[in-house]
Amino acid sequence: MSPQSHGMTGTKTYNAWNGMLSRCTNSRNLRWKDYGGRGIKVCKRWRKFRNFLADMGEAPKGLSLERKNNDGDYKPSNCKWATTKEQMNNTRLNHWLTLDGVTLTMNEWAKRLNVRPHTILTRLIRGRSVRDSLVPAWQNRKRRDVNTYARGEAMGKCAKLSEPEVLSIRAAREVGIDVHTVAREFGISHWTVYGIWERRSWTHL
């Protein structure tokens, strides 16, 4: 049975299924490198929308498709409908970091050091070692750049978003997360979300 016969083409559930297939099978998808490009597959059964719908049901309001094991494939035993917060906690960004014999996830280090996880992530992306990514955060946690923060306040919430956060906001659209959920999770207005989605802001990314 086709999605059209279900009358579900264009629905959140159909878009989640279609986005899943695209990320895993279309090398031109912007997120291919994080999915199909690193070996994530869609099980044979779920190549048909009717099977996906039978196994997962319709997407509940405020939830989106999530893999329990972020390195596993899309299949019934590894997927659920999850909140945006659950998804963010299960991304590859939440990997383990070890410093001086202490091993914690990036989010756990961020909580311990009282900084945002993306502060640490940005340092790692720029090629810094784990020590250089974590120690400066600890040393500077009480004297972060007040002037930069003040400029962010003057320019609005959007100015305080990091590049990884902007990419996450764009990715949220692909997996069917609605604008109000994204705005609430990132503490920004829905107009800011639309601006990022339509590339009217952060145009260099």
pTM of the prediction? 0.49
**For tokens 């999850």, what's the residue?**
82
Q: 173-198 pLDDT, tens per residue? A: 776 777 887 787 777 888 888 888 88
Q: Measured between alpha carbons, how far is 83 from 201 in angstroms, rounded to an integer?
A: 26
Q: Measured between alpha carbons, how far is 109 from 169 in angstroms, rounded to an integer?
A: 23
Q: Which of 81, 155, 183, 157 is nearest to 197 (CA)?
A: 183
Q: Measured between alpha carbons, how far is 18 from 24 in angstroms, rounded to an integer?
A: 10
Q: Which of 99, 103, 14, 124 is nearest to 59 (CA)?
A: 14
HSE value, Cβ hemisphere, 13 Å, CA-based, for 27: 2
Q: Which of 97, 122, 125 is nearest to 112 (CA)?
A: 97
Q: What pLDDT does residue 81 have?
A: 94
Backbone angles phi, psi at 96, to 5 degrees: -85, 140
Tens-binned pLDDT, residue by residue, of the chain (205 aa): 444 556 788 899 999 999 999 999 999 988 888 899 989 999 999 999 999 999 999 999 889 899 988 778 999 999 999 887 677 666 655 677 888 778 888 878 888 877 777 778 777 777 778 888 887 544 443 333 333 332 333 334 444 677 777 887 887 777 677 788 778 777 788 888 888 888 888 877 7
